[in-house]
Amino acid sequence: MKRVFLLLLILGLMANVWAETADKPFSENILQLQIYLDQKHFSPGKIDGIQGKFTQQALKYYKDANPNVTDQALKQSLKNISPLFTNYKITTDDKNFIGEVPQTPKEQSKKKKLPYRSYAEFVAERFHVDSDFLAKINPEKDLGKLKPGDMLKVPNIEPFRIEIIKEGKDAEKKAYFSNRSIKINTKERMLKLYEDGQLLAVFPITPGSEHLPAPKGTWKLMSITYLPWFRYDKKMLTKGRRSDNYYQLPPGPNSPVGVVWIALNKKGIGIHGTDKPDTIGRSASHGCIRLSNWDAITLSKMVTPGIKVEID
């Protein structure tokens, strides 16, 4: 990690971390780096302008995968990310993705979908941030009272567009992705995507819990399901065994498995999204591999059924 700190110094970022976070809640220089890494599929996790573990790891792996990119060239690329912020106007169509989400699985199972609870949650996930950061950059806004027509300041990043996700399963093999493979490091909490041994992308994850860890070994990707229904079985989630006491939860961004389920050839185990993106890498899952919804969708478009998945 010393190399990462040195690189941050070369890029002129490290000094700004200390100088800016003392009187501001985030560093615009780190924000610039995070946006760049996110768009290159070396995800730093949520965009927050703070130089944390996943930003450091993403930078390290980006440099490892792109040895011909000089520090000077990278520094220039960061300068080209301008402006850092843009504006998003809430539309009447956005209302289609907002609604009530009950607290218990029993009540959730009675709904047709599990949408965003608020416009703030919708906009935050759309631009890869959490509600706290959205509030920081919009101090004049009451995020609890947003409505169509309101304008919000957001990071200038390719948005996560939930409206273009179509419900259904994709089990078709794509020959042009057949040389790709996934390696998951549960200790490092990173998922890495390779093609013929070349690192293509990295994403922070939450692996299984201490009681139900992600199954180590070599598996195969079987299918990809968008906007999946989820069989909520407490016994399965805590002990790894199915019971007859379960609920079928409808799809949506606030489903426990998020907006996509990438099934492996081990029953009940998959790579999936989440209803709590701010907890990625910072809490436990139930045997599966969890990513933010925006990273999970990105990954799903870069893989195909049949490829190898190694969990270590």
Contact 35, 156 (CB under 8 A): yes
174-190 pLDDT per residue, tens: 999 999 999 999 999 99
Question: Quick one: pLDDT at residue 19?
Answer: 37
Does 237 have pLDDT greater than 80?
no
Residue 137 has pLDDT above 50, yes or no: yes
58-85: per-residue pLDDT in tens? 999 999 999 999 999 999 999 999 999 9
Q: What percent of the chain lies above the pLDDT cut of 70? A: 89
The pair of three-digit structure tokens given for residue 74, joined into one six-digit string: 């990278």
Average pLDDT score over the chain: 91
Domain 168-311 belongs in CATH node 3.80.10.10: no
Both tokens of 193, joined, read: 């995507």
Contact 192, 274 (CB under 8 A): no
pLDDT, residue 268, reads 84
Mean pLDDT, rounded, for 267-280:
91
Confidence of residue 283 (pLDDT cuts 50, 70, 90): low
pLDDT in tens, 215-226: 999 999 999 999
- Residue 31's pLDDT is 97
Question: pLDDT tens, 11-35?
Answer: 556 545 443 433 457 899 999 999 9
Topology agreement, domain 85-155 and domain 168-311: no
Interval 145-203: pLDDT, tens: 999 999 999 999 999 999 999 999 988 899 999 999 999 999 999 999 999 999 999 99
Q: Is the pLDDT of residue 212 over 80?
A: no
Domain ranges of the chain: 85-155, 168-311
What CATH topology corresponds to 85-155? Membrane-bound Lytic Murein Transglycosylase D; Chain A (3.10.350)
Residue 281: pLDDT band by 50, 70, 90 thresholds?
A: confident
pTM of the full predicted structure?
0.91
Instruction: Give the pairing of strands 180-185 and 190-195.
Output: antiparallel
Beta-ladder partners of 231:
248
Q: Mind telling me the catalytic residues?
A: 272, 288
Which pLDDT value is given to residue 21? 39
Across residues 271-276, what is the average pLDDT?
95
User: What mean pLDDT is predicted for residues 100-113?
Assistant: 97
> Would you state the pLDDT for residue 305?
96
CA-to-CA separations, 268 to 66, 138, 258, 265, 272, in angstroms, rounded: 36, 41, 15, 9, 12
Residue 23's pLDDT is: 46
Give residue 245's pLDDT band: very low, low, confident or very high (50, 70, 90).
confident
pLDDT on residue 2: 59
Q: Is the pLDDT of residue 207 over 60?
A: yes
Average pLDDT of the segment spanning 114-118: 98
